[in-house]
Amino acid sequence: MNEMKEGQRVKVAHLDELPIQIGKEVIIDNHHIALFRLTSGNVKAIENKCPHKQGPLAQGIVSGEHVFCPLHDWKIDVTTGEVQKPDDGCVKTYPVEVVDNIVFIVI
């Protein structure tokens, strides 16, 4: 394993590899990340671990700017990582850059 540097840009996928509204799990060293391509065209990356009971968020239903956890249906904003009411909590978010249809995550 290589040590990571903060703020590193990692190439993770070509845009075409990401189906719209279906999440993808990306593992970069020990970061488990759920990557989403939204209908709006934006690509978002959040920690692939629901704050409730670690549900794999990449497998959830994606609607608009939110993902619904596949285990107990918590609703999470994929931009801010905030869990929506009445539940509470937040997941880590990762900046995403898309350049020439190549998706990069900054960790």
Partner 1 sequence: MTKRKLVLVGNGMAGIRCLEEILNIDPERFDITVFGSEPHPNYNRIMLSSVLQGDTTVDDIVLNSYEWYAENNIQLYTGETVEKIDKDTKQVFTDKGRSVPYDDLILATGSHPFMLPLPGADKDGVIAFRNIEDCETMIDTSKKYERAVVIGGGLLGLEAARGLLNLGMEVDVVHILDYLMERQLDPTASAMLQEELEKQGMNFLMNHHTEAILGKKRVEKVTFKGGKVVKADLVVMAVGIKPNVDVAKASDIETNRGIIVDDYMQTSAPDIYSLGECAEHREMVYGLVAPLWEQAKVLAKQICGVDAENGYQGSILSTKLKVSGVDVFSAGEFNDSQNNKAIRIQDEFEGIYKKVVVRDNRIVGSVLFGDTTEGTKLLNMINNETDISEIGKVNILQSVDQSESIVIDMDDSEIICGCNGVSKGDIVSAIKENGLASIAEVRDCTNASRSCGTCKGLVGDLLEHTLGDEFEVGTEKETVCACTTLTHEEVVAEIRDKGLSHTREVMNVLGWSTPEGCSKCRPAINYYLGMVHPTDYEDEQESRFVNERMHANIQNNGTYSVVPRMYGGVTNAKDLRKIADVADKYNVPLLKVTGGQRIDLLGIKKEDLPSVWADLDMPSGYAYGKTIRTVKTCVGENFCRFGTQDSIGLGIEIEKKFERLNTPHKVKMGVSACPRNCAESGIKDVGIVGVDGAWEIYVGGNGGTDLRAGDLLCRVKTSEEVLEMIAAYLQLYRENARYLERTSHWLERVGLDHVKSVLLEDQDMKEQLVSRMDITLSAIPGDPWKKFIESEKDKEELFQSKALEVTKS
If one asks whether residue 14 binds ligand FES (CB under 6 A), the answer comes out as no
In terms of phi and psi (left: phi > 0; alpha: psi -120 to 50; beta: otherwise), the region of 7 is: left
Q: Which does 85 bind (CB under 5 to 8 A by kind): ligand FES, partner 1, none?
A: partner 1
Name the site residues for partner 1 (rule: CB under 8 A). 1-5, 8, 10, 12-13, 17, 19-22, 24-29, 39, 52-56, 58-64, 66, 68, 70-71, 73, 75, 85-86, 88-90, 107
Interface with ligand FES, residue 72, by CB under 6 A: yes
Whether residue 44 contacts residue 79, with contact meaning beta carbons closer than 8 Å, is answered with: yes
Nearest alpha-carbon partner for 36 in 97, 99, 94, 78: 78
